Chain A
Amino acid sequence: MNGQTHTTAGQPIAIVSAQALRERMHAAVNDPHLRQSFRGAMDFLMAKRLAQFPDESELVSLRSLSEAIRQYSLSKLPDLLEQLEANLTRNGVKVHWAETPEEANAIMLGIAQAHRARLIVKGKSMVSEEIEFNHAMEAAGVGALESDMGEYIVQLAGEKPSHIIMPAIHQTKQQIAKLFAEKIPGVDYTDNVDALIQIGRRVLREKFEVADIGLSGVNFAVAETGTLCLVENEGNGRMCTTVPKVHIAITGIEKVVEKLEHVAPLYSILTRSATGQAVSTYFNLISGPRRSDDRDGPEEVHLVLLDNGRSQAYADEQLRKTLQCIRCGACMNHCPVYTRIGGHAYGTTYPGPIGKIVSPHMMGLEQTHLLPTASSLCGACGEVCPVKIPIPELLIRLRGEANSAPHAHPAMVGQGAAYDPKISLLWRIWARVYGHPAAYRAFSWLATRFRALTPRKQGGWTVARTPLQPAPRRLRDMLKERP
């Protein structure tokens, strides 16, 4: 350890410790029910995605284009953010900037208080999960109600989303039926999915009608027009951004693109990669509050631009690729680790392969250094990523950052968090021995002669395997004896 505690100041996110992460993963792997529901769901999503790309050449071309658009946007990020701000402001949208979750929550609480808001209805927003928005509002006496059906279920159960696209994927309809019957007054148990959705619809429509503020995320922010794009199926995103008098959108600073036409290919590859849909039911392009010739829509629109570790990722050319992400979740759906343990085991807002490379920037490696090791490096995540983020390469980089000796100019907060001088010394000796023929000869001679002294228990290796032991004779000795 480098002796210093590197945490984002006052980070409200309850991250699990390395030991707890091991225990959660162990528990998840040994839960056959959970494994079955994730296996089924992920197989379903993988098949649906595959069916959306019957033409391999189209997929190849669209992926390259999407990657190019994301990389181009990032190469001009500060300029585009300024252009976005100017055009949004021209359109009548108020733009706010926040470096930390606390700042973002304070800005939004300020808006809520200025409007004496008592209830905020929310569309799905992973950034609001990232900053623990609901808790911050509730602590200040403002209700924050999730209105995406999956998020509503998760909130009712007092849980966090287990998938960024399908938040309640870990729950069966019977569990949800029980939850509704217990938590919603006047509701009897029914595990008919249509009936359950209608119950949710009834409860939530009452709230849309009376809410003071609607909150949403942003899928793409367009600099040239000052437009916020929102992808959704349910209509709750539209409700939140249309019905209340005030609409607050929150997004990470990386979501900006320059041209409106850049949105078309990104939107197309996003829905197909995420849920295997050709298109979502609704695609919203919001460019400002109600104008004089509009009949409805919010009177005020705000955008909060959040950093929370993103500028740190931006500073390093390799790590910057993390910011290409368009949050489709395809890497999770295809990850053998995610499929076996589900999203909750990770203990972070963003689970799965993308979570393992995003979370360290938000929380520092001190708390997250074990995450990049929860991967078989099979490469499936990188292969399906619609914007070609080299996730396996970034996992290796983060492992290196966590395990190398602390130094003066680290690329990220918490560098060296997993550094162990003893293990480091061991590897240095190992490298010396293997790098010098005489030392290697002496070592291998000794290892074969004293093989009986090899320990029977070899840490994690011998939990499920026979101990490793040097051969009785070296290959070189056997070769020497060949006629």
Chain B
Amino acid sequence: MSARDRILAKLRAAQPAQPNALPDPAEHYATRARNESKADRLARFRTGIEGFHAEVHVSTAADWPDLLASLCAQKQIGTLMYGADTPAGARLHATGFGATALRPWQGEFEQLKADLFHTVDAGFTQTRGAIAETGSLIVWASAAAPRTLSLVPPIHFALLDANHIHPTFFDALRAENWAAGLPTNALLISGPSKTADIQQTLAYGAHGPKELVVIVINAEGDAQ
């Protein structure tokens, strides 16, 4: 008998004849639902993620590449890497970026690894959406958002569509039916990497990005 069979046999011998009733989390969330406008949800998301030390900039579907370019210039980004062959990637043009070298993700991770760790100053990814309640970005591993682009370079730029901000995590995974098909890595990101492991003193940039910069588009015209 294998370890598997022995463990399962021990559990089966003690398992209750009838399982408990299936809990329904929807009741808990329904009573706390807010009738929010898109602007209110964005405001709540923004307060949350800014509280976690992220920068938020509001732009428009047309103007965001220019905003990204000017932020790169401000932050003196030498090399910006992004997902190639993606709608957002196609919008980026080297001409607008001045001193920042644009580098699309090309080839295998193993070949890019050393550069990601040592020469790429910032990664740019598209997000799937966000969560208002906690100020979290939703990022799914894909060509538009390779896992390491939001992790290894010191600065992470994330593009968020304001139409995809959900009230809670529970709402997000219910509304989009995540259970029907998850990517290899789905991720919630709430701020840059941090730790309070030394004497409860908060420090940013523990292992991942030291800065998280969110560019929000489609925020009902309130560009800045």
Chain A interfacial positions (CB closer than 8 Å to B): 41, 44, 58, 61-62, 65, 68-69, 71-72, 75-78, 81-82, 91, 97-99, 103, 147-150, 153, 166-169, 171-173, 176, 193-194, 196-198, 200-201, 204-205, 208-209, 224-225, 227, 233-236, 238-239, 241-243, 253, 258-262, 264-265, 267-268, 275, 278-291, 293-297, 305, 307, 311-312, 314-316, 320
Q: Are A293 and B208 in contact (CB under 8 A)?
A: no
Smallest CB–CB gap between B186 and chain A, Å? 4
B contact residues around A296 at 8 Å (CB): 109, 141, 146-148
B contact residues around A65 at 8 Å (CB): 23, 25, 28
Q: A285-B185, A314-B10 are in contact. List 20 more A-B contacts (CB 8 A).
A: A171-B199, A204-B207, A224-B179, A234-B206, A234-B208, A235-B208, A242-B147, A260-B179, A261-B25, A278-B133, A280-B190, A281-B189, A281-B194, A282-B208, A285-B187, A287-B182, A287-B185, A297-B141, A311-B11, A311-B14
Q: Are A264 and B25 in contact (CB under 8 A)?
A: yes
Q: Are A198 and B191 in contact (CB under 8 A)?
A: no
Interface of B is mostly: loop
Inter-chain CA distance A39–B105, complex, in Å, is: 49
Count of chain B residues near A, Cβ 8 A: 76
Q: Are A235 and B193 in contact (CB under 8 A)?
A: yes
Smallest CB–CB gap between A293 and chain B, Å? 7
Q: Are B14 and A314 in contact (CB under 8 A)?
A: yes
Q: Is B168 an interface residue (CB 8 A)?
A: yes
Inter-chain CA distance A265–B32, complex, in Å, is: 13
Q: List 16 A-B contacts (CB under 8 A).
A: A77-B15, A149-B197, A153-B198, A168-B197, A209-B113, A233-B194, A234-B207, A238-B207, A279-B136, A280-B190, A284-B186, A285-B186, A286-B184, A297-B141, A311-B11, A314-B14
B contact residues around A61 at 8 Å (CB): 28, 31
Q: Are B25 and A285 in contact (CB under 8 A)?
A: no
B contact residues around A253 at 8 Å (CB): 7, 11
A contact residues around B83 at 8 Å (CB): 295
Q: Are A282 and B184 in contact (CB under 8 A)?
A: no
Q: Are B203 and A242 in contact (CB under 8 A)?
A: no
Residue of B11, B31, B32, B152 contacting most chain A CB atoms (<10 Å): B11
Q: Is B91 an interface residue (CB 8 A)?
A: no
Inter-chain CA distance A282–B138, complex, in Å, is: 10
Q: Are A278 and B48 in contact (CB under 8 A)?
A: yes
Q: Are A238 and B19 in contact (CB under 8 A)?
A: no
Q: Are B182 and A225 in contact (CB under 8 A)?
A: yes
Contact of B25 among A44, A76, A262 (CB under 8 A): A262
Inter-chain CA distance A238–B31, complex, in Å, is: 34
Nearest A residue to B188 via CB reads: A283
B contact residues around A209 at 8 Å (CB): 113-114, 117
A contact residues around B192 at 8 Å (CB): 281
Inter-chain CA distance A265–B134, complex, in Å, is: 13
Q: Is B98 an interface residue (CB 8 A)?
A: no
Smallest CB–CB gap between A192 and chain B, Å? 10
B contact residues around A76 at 8 Å (CB): 15, 19
Q: Is B90 an interface residue (CB 8 A)?
A: no
B contact residues around A168 at 8 Å (CB): 197-198
Q: Is B87 an interface residue (CB 8 A)?
A: no
